[in-house]
Amino acid sequence: MRLILLAILLLSISDIKSQTPFNKVYDLDARYVQLKGDAILEYNGKIYTAGASFETEDTILNERNFYVASFDQLGEPINNIVWYHDLNPFNNTLNTNNESFIYNDSIYFAVETRFSNTQCIVKVDEDLMTLKEHACYTDTSSLLVAPFSFIEFPDDQLTVIMANELPEIDLLLAKIDLKEEDRWSISKPAQEDDYMYYPYKILRLPQYEDRAWIMGFYTHYSNGFARDTTNNFGLFMMVIDEDHNVVDTFYRYDNVIGVGPGFEALVLDDGSIVYTMLTFDRDYWNETFTYRYKPVVAKLNPDLSEAWIKPFGVSDYSLRNEELVSIVESHDKDGFVIAGLSFWDNYGLIGKVDNNGDSLWHYRVETLYEENSNLLKDVTRSSDGYYLASGTRSVVTRDDTINSNLQLWIIKFDDNGQIVDVGTTSTIDEQEAINGITVYPNPTADMVYIKQESEQSLRYDLYDAQGQLIHSQQESGGNRIMVLDVYSYSAGMYHLVIVDDKGKNIHTHKISVTR
Domains by residue range for the chain, with CATH: 22-413 (2.130.10.10), 437-513 (2.60.40.1930)
Task: List the one residue out of 216, 350, 334 whose CA is nearest residue 268.
Answer: 334
What is the structure's pLDDT at 20? 55
Three-state SS letters, 203-246: ECCCCCCCCEEEEEEEEECCCCCCCCCCCEEEEEEEEECCCCCE
Q: What are phi and psi of 356, to 5 degrees?
A: -105, 5
Euclidean distance between CA atoms 10 and 435, whole angstroms: 17
* pLDDT mean by block of 10 residues, the chain; 515 residues: 32 35 79 90 97 74 85 95 77 82 95 86 96 91 86 96 79 95 92 88 93 93 81 93 95 85 92 96 94 95 95 89 94 97 89 96 78 87 95 63 71 84 56 76 77 85 92 83 80 93 89 88
User: pTM higher than 0.95, yes or no?
Assistant: no
The per-residue pLDDT for range 115-164, each reduced to its tens digit, is 788 899 999 999 999 999 999 998 888 877 888 999 999 999 999 998 88
Rounded CA-CA distance 402/75 in Å is: 16
List phi, psi (to 5°) of 79: -160, 165
Give the pLDDT score at 167.
Answer: 65
The distance of Cα 105 from the centroid of its chain, to the nearest Å, equals 25
**What's the pLDDT score for residue 176?**
96
Separation CA 305–CA 386 (nearest Å): 31
392-401 pLDDT, tens digit each = 987 644 443 4
Q: What whole-number distance in Å separates Cα of residue 256 and Cα of residue 245? A: 26
pLDDT at 401: 44
Residue 259: what pLDDT?
64
For residue 378, how many other CB atoms are within 10 A of its CB? 27
Handedness of CA 308, 313, 314, 320 (dihedral sign): negative
